[in-house]
Amino acid sequence: MKVKSSLMCQNCGRQTSHELHYVGSSLHEIRCLQCSTETWGHHHPVAGYVGEMRGRIVTKPWRVLREMTTEPAAIRSLLPRVASKPVRVASELIEILR
């Protein structure tokens, strides 16, 4: 997911529009849209994603259990979410490898 935000660019010396590139919940890259300077970049995106995914997998049973106890109606959306998970993970991986 790419989000635009106005940030201070040290290369341009003023506030400019930047693109923030998220992969999953991790910030992958911040790039100035005026001069293309990369302010911050995760140069090992696959390793970062694997680490994030490991945490998501370990905590998933607890998050599902909490959701089922606090929002019982959410059980109806569980099966479609489980079924679409491989596609969503593949989309995130494709976004990393671009």
Cα torsion angle, 65, 50, 42, 30, sign: negative
Asked whether position 8 contacts Zn ion by CB under 5 A, the answer is no
d(CA 72, CA 82): 16
Q: Write down the least CB distance from residue 43 to Zn ion, Å.
A: 19
Residue with the two structure tokens 């998050």: 63
Which residues are bridge partners to 51 per DSSP? none
Only one of the segments 28-36, 53-61, 74-82, 90-98 lies at the binding site for Zn ion (rule: CB under 5 A); that segment is 28-36
Asked whether position 96 contacts Zn ion by CB under 5 A, the answer is no
Interacting positions 31-50 with Zn ion (CB under 5 A): 32, 34-35, 37
Asked whether position 10 contacts Zn ion by CB under 5 A, the answer is no
Secondary structure of residue 17 in the 3-state scheme:
strand
Is-contact 40 30, C-beta < 8 A?
yes
Q: Which residue number, 37 or 52, has a Cβ lying nearer to Zn ion?
A: 37
Q: Which tokens in the block code for residue 60?
A: 């998933």
Asked whether position 3 contacts Zn ion by CB under 5 A, the answer is no
The contact set with Zn ion (CB under 5 A) reads 9, 11-12, 32, 34-35, 37
